[in-house]
Amino acid sequence: MKLALLNGNRFNPWHMRVFNLLNPPAEVTAFRAESEIQQYFQERDDGSTQQAIEPIYYDTQAGPLHRRLLYKAQERYLNRAPVIVPFHERLQGYDIIQSWELFTDWTEQALEARRRFNVPLSLMVWDNIPFNMERTPHIRQRKMRAAQEADRFIVHSRRSARVLDIEGVAADKIIHADPGVDTDRFCPGSVTRTALNLPEDAFVILFVGWFLPRKGLDFLLLALRELLHARRPGDAPVHLAMVGSGPGRERVEKLIHRLHLDGHCTFAGSVPYDRMPEWFRASDVFVLPSIATPEWQEQFGMSLIEAMACGVPVISTWSGAIPEIVEDAGVLCQPNDFMSLFDALKLLHESAGLRKERAQQGRELALRRFTLARAAEALSGVYRGLLPG
């Protein structure tokens, strides 16, 4: 089976591993655009991805020089979004095309290839906001075409399935398939904190992700400040470890300094994916404090299942798909609310028994729902259903 995988500029080691386990085995070609986001993912690549790469380009990266300069100027000063150079002809000869989201120009190319070459098309849909991203009539028409013409729609949450239903996708085309994590690698274990430049005797809080405002790190810093002020005599020190990079670090550093948290925070930078279990095991609690924006709510949160698989209790928010993913295995609080987050942190900080209970529940949930083998079988079933005969 030859699979053309279109995922824009979001190819990363934690989403790609499942494609190594498909049954029947697949010859996967990743059509990938280079960008700042992709560079961030490459910094975390541990060499486990095995897919061939076919580069695709934005109109700011290819074409006549004068046009590229014009588009770059419009992108910088007029908020113009770059557009990919058409590549649908390169999708001829594949058995299946998988693209991402209804609204992307990658999906527009996939739809054109489906029409011209009769290649079955599957869309992986993370979006969980109805009629989202319809900034122009053209994008709205693209979404409507995708809803009618794509052969399958893979979702990771009930919320995404409901959005597709609202937008007119036939129910028999929608398939729920949970992502997976390597639960043999992401598993409970011990680690020496000093090897990670973390204090051995502290209550360690872990954050993993972008420093973009929507990930809620600003609220976590405010909650950390409140937790420090609420400590009782004899309590262990409290320390926040942040794994991540990308835009936003300067904002975070300024807030840390303003809150006088400099001695309580560690920036780990980008960490190769195969080293992530060490960071989870070194923490007492993992926090994903996502907030909602008009065009985005947390669509899954892979770091949540990685933490749970490692037997680390999780705190997150009532935002997007998070309640579906965490179920009863974590502590959820209000998004955009540092006091609600502080209450959750304080609850787990003061109760080792509750931390142990949530850790065990999280590990059991990961083994029940989020293994790589289970994810690969679900995805394989989708593809088998699209192959002729």
If one counts the domains in the chain, the total is 2
Q: What is the mean pLDDT of residues 126-138?
A: 94
In a domain, 329, yes or no: yes
> What is the rounded distance in angstroms from the CA atom of residue 328 to the CA atom of residue 272?
30
What is the per-residue pLDDT across 12-67, written as a single tens digit (0 to 9) for each?
767 788 898 999 999 999 998 876 665 666 665 666 667 788 888 888 888 888 88
In a domain, 186, yes or no: no
Q: Using 50, 70 and 90 to split pLDDT, how confident is the model at 9?
A: low
Kindly state whether residues 167 and 230 are assigned to the same domain.
no
What pLDDT was estimated at residue 362? 98
Q: How far apart are the first and last CA of the chain?
A: 13
Neighbours of 276 (CB within 10 A): 23
> What is the rounded distance in angstroms from the CA atom of residue 355 to the CA atom of residue 204?
13
Kindly state whether residues 128 and 223 are assigned to the same domain.
no
Kindly state whether residues 298 and 378 are assigned to the same domain.
no
Beta carbons of 87 and 117 less than 8 angstroms apart? no
To the question of pTM greater than 0.85 for the whole model, the response is yes
Nearest to 271 by CA among 205, 366, 189, 207: 207
Kindly state whether residues 204 and 267 are assigned to the same domain.
yes
Beta carbons of 108 and 85 less than 8 angstroms apart? no
> What is the rounded distance in angstroms from the CA atom of residue 270 to the CA atom of residue 248?
14
In a domain, 185, yes or no: no
Kindly state whether residues 305 and 159 are assigned to the same domain.
no
What is the per-residue pLDDT across 329-348, written as a single tens digit (0 to 9) for each?
999 999 999 999 999 999 99
Those residues whose C-beta lies under 8 Å from the C-beta of residue 171, and which sit 6 or more positions away, are 165
What is the per-residue pLDDT across 158-181, written as a single tens digit (0 to 9) for each?
999 999 999 999 999 999 999 999
What pLDDT was estimated at residue 63? 82
